[in-house]
Amino acid sequence: MKETAETSQKVITRFLFHRLMENGKWIFYSGLCVLIAAGVQVYTSTMVKKFFDEALVPRDWDKVLWFCGALVVLFFVDGASDFLHRFFIRIAMEKTVRKLRDDLFKKFLVLSTNQTASLSSGQAVNSFTADIQVLGVGTHITADLLRE
């Protein structure tokens, strides 16, 4: 039974991966924004060290003003890249879920009457909803992995 669960998990993971890769352009853009945000965060920490060592301790007020302006710009770039990352990953997620929903309903419409009669409407809706929710969770996990 454990092998069946692992096998089905691998199948679902592969299925979700292929669905997400249909929107690879948006995931790529999201990844670029994550790299920009990571670079800004690393550079911000080195900038703060320089701020204390070169401007604040020697009391060079021109450098203090320059570093403050540079830090404001870095915070703005970090916020903008984080926003764009979330925006692009949301586009990929919404398009993937929309495509999956369309495919599921197309398959549901061509089922034979014997198959549809054996399922209650609640079971069918529950099955479709669960598949869509699993895909949504998968895209959120992918977004979190990209962000980390």
Q: Considering the entire predicted model, what is its pTM?
A: 0.68
* DSSP secondary structure string for all residues of 89-102: HHHHHHHHHHHHHH
In angstroms, how far is the first alpha carbon of the chain from the final one?
33
Query: How many whole angstroms separate alpha carbon 17 and alpha carbon 134?
Result: 12
pLDDT digits (tens, 9 = 90+) for 42-56: 999 999 999 999 998
Query: How many whole angstroms separate alpha carbon 3 and alpha carbon 9?
Result: 10
Task: Name the most confidently modeled range: 17-21, 35-39, 132-136.
Answer: 35-39
Query: How many whole angstroms separate alpha carbon 119 and alpha carbon 103?
Result: 19
SS3 state of residue 112:
coil
Average pLDDT rounded to a whole number, residues 124-129: 67
pLDDT band for position 125 (cuts 50, 70, 90): low
Query: How many whole angstroms separate alpha carbon 78 and alpha carbon 38?
Result: 8
Average pLDDT rounded to a whole number, residues 82-91: 92
CB burial string 91-116: b at 16+ within 10 A, e below:
bbbeebbeebeeebeeeeeeeeeeee
